[in-house]
């Protein structure tokens, strides 16, 4: 193929990194994701090596089976939370921006300092302010927030989690919730099993091996409070159909402890849980692996180092001609003067 093919992820404006030709998306700062993964894997492996043989012989074979299933759940959901597009909204195209700005100018006042750009709408009887995002150049839909770390507007923005190295939003919230719940179960399970092991075992020699066998206990003991606490907090959020962002800002709390002002709630714990966790899975809006239309391929990509394998690397003139060839060849476009 002689045409320059550029996938949309290659020109994505946000602060994200892409792997496997756009299939995997992560935030540029991966945070402490390697640490999270490392802690989980090392603790579980130590548990399997040192505690499981004893417990299998003295109790039941179900213990490593349950631990294995939980471990798989935790790792898979963690990777899915980290590598899934959280619900990034693509930035507005130039014509849309001009249209929006024209509408703002028409309705706003003519002062030297432009007024803050907000739009008020009514959702289910509550007044909601939609803010204009200066980076993405659009009015943010309700519950959308701009993540400064990833430089993207994310739908139903919950928070940016450094432990998973990604934002948590509409598309990956259920993965995140499953991750923290299964992690709580795994941590509690390992803690319980290790305590059982240590109490059942006859007194042995203290030494390095003993310390190593007790390390899952230590890790689990310290992490169980945070994982259980986080799971509990997010269960409350799911049941009230709130995001961490809204809860922290106190967007809907009218009186102390009363959340009746939330216009997105279905007014029922079960219904809220089903809506948040079992609702339909929306698609990714950024279309990472889609192809850019040939006439909008930026020059920096066309003449830069990102060349299609069929292109000659040392002939930039040829590259420029080929990059614009589809435009040139389209019957509507004028001929190129060379």
Partner 1 sequence: MVKPLVTAASTLASAFLPLSLCRCPTGKDDFSTGIDPPPSLGNMATEFHNLQDLRHTATLATKVFIQRDYRDGTVCKFQTKFPEELDNRIERALFEDTIKTLNNYYAEAEKISGQSYLEGCLACASAYIIFLCMETRYEKVLRKISMYIQEQNEKIYAPRGLLITDPVERGMRVIEISIFDDRISSGSSSSGSSVSSGSAR
Choose one: 48-56, 171-179, 198-206, 214-222; the region binding partner 1 (CB under 8 A). Answer: 171-179
Contact of 162 with 28, CB cutoff 8 Å: no
- C-beta of 38 vs 141, nearer to partner 1: 141
Please report, as residue ranges, which positions from 200 to 239 form the binding site for partner 1 (by CB under 8 A): none
- C-beta of 196 vs 244, nearer to partner 1: 244
Instruction: Indicate whether 312 belongs to the interface with partner 1 (CB under 8 A).
Output: no
- C-beta of 9 vs 47, nearer to partner 1: 9
Under 8 Å CB-to-CB from 131, ≥6 apart: which residues? 117, 118, 139, 140
Using CB under 8 A, pick the residue from 143, 160, 197, 234 that binds partner 1. 143
Instruction: Indicate whether 320 belongs to the interface with partner 1 (CB under 8 A).
Output: yes
Please report, as residue ranges, which positions from 110 to 139 form the binding site for partner 1 (by CB under 8 A): 121-124, 128, 130, 138
* x/- track of binding to partner 1 for residues 255-284 (CB under 8 A): --------xx---------xx-xxxxxxxx
Taking 3-state DSSP, the helix, strand and coil percentages for the chain, each rounded to the nearest 5, stand at 50, 10, 40
* CA-to-CA dists, residue 223 to 11, 185, 210, 286, 303, angstroms: 39, 12, 21, 35, 51
Using CB under 8 A, pick the residue from 104, 289, 301, 308 that binds partner 1. 289
Active site residue 161: yes
Cα atoms found within 13 Å of the Cα of residue 196, Cβ hemisphere only: 17
| CA pair distance 154, 168, nearest whole angstrom | 8
- C-beta of 213 vs 241, nearer to partner 1: 241
Please report, as residue ranges, which positions from 48 to 107 form the binding site for partner 1 (by CB under 8 A): 72-73, 76-77, 80, 85, 89-90, 92-96, 99
Decide: helix, strand or coil at residue 275.
helix
| CA pair distance 97, 107, nearest whole angstrom | 15
- C-beta of 11 vs 195, nearer to partner 1: 11
Catalytic residue of the set 133, 150, 153, 161: 161
Cα atoms found within 13 Å of the Cα of residue 267, Cβ hemisphere only: 4
Contact of 11 with 22, CB cutoff 8 Å: no
Please report, as residue ranges, which positions from 2 to 21 form the binding site for partner 1 (by CB under 8 A): 2-3, 5, 7-8
Residue 51 DSSP one-character state: I
Least distance to partner 1 from the beta carbon of 237, Å?
A: 16
Catalytic residues: 161
């Amino acid at each position: 193929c002689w045409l320059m093919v550029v996938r949309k992820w290659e020109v994505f404006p946000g602060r994200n990194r892409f792997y496997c030709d756009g299939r995997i998306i992560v935030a540029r700062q991966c945070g402490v994701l390697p640490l999270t993964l490392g802690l989980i894997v090392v603790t579980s492996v130590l548990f399997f090596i040192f505690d499981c043989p004893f417990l299998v012989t003295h109790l039941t074979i179900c213990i490593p089976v349950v631990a294995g299933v939980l471990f798989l759940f935790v790792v898979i959901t963690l990777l899915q939370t980290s590598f899934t597009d959280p619900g990034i909204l693509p930035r507005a195209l130039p014509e849309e921006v001009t249209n929006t700005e024209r509408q703002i100018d028409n309705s706003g006042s003519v002062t030297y300092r432009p007024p803050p750009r907000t739009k008020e709408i009514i959702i289910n009887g509550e007044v909601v302010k939609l803010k204009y995002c200066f980076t993405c150049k659009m009015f943010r839909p309700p519950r959308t927030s701009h993540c400064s770390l990833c430089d993207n507007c994310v739908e139903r923005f919950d928070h940016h989690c450094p432990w998973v190295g990604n934002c948590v939003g509409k598309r990956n919230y259920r993965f995140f919730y499953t991750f923290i719940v299964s992690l709580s179960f795994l941590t509690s399970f390992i803690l319980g099993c290790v305590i059982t092991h240590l109490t059942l075992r006859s007194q042995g020699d203290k030494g390095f091996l003993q310390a190593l066998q007790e390390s899952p206990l230590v890790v689990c003991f310290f992490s169980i409070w945070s994982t259980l606490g986080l799971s509990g907090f997010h269960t409350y959020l799911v049941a009230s159909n709130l995001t961490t962002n809204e809860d922290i800002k106190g967007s809907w709390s009218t009186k102390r402890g009363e959340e009746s002002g939330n216009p997105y709630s279905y007014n029922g714990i079960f219904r809220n849980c089903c809506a948040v966790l079992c609702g339909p899975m929306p698609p990714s809006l950024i279309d990472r692996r889609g192809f850019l239309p040939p006439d909008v391929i930026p020059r920096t990509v066309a003449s830069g180092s990102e060349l299609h394998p069929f292109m000659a690397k040392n002939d930039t003139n040829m590259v420029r001609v080929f990059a614009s060839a589809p435009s040139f060849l389209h019957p509507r476009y004028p001929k190129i003067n060379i």
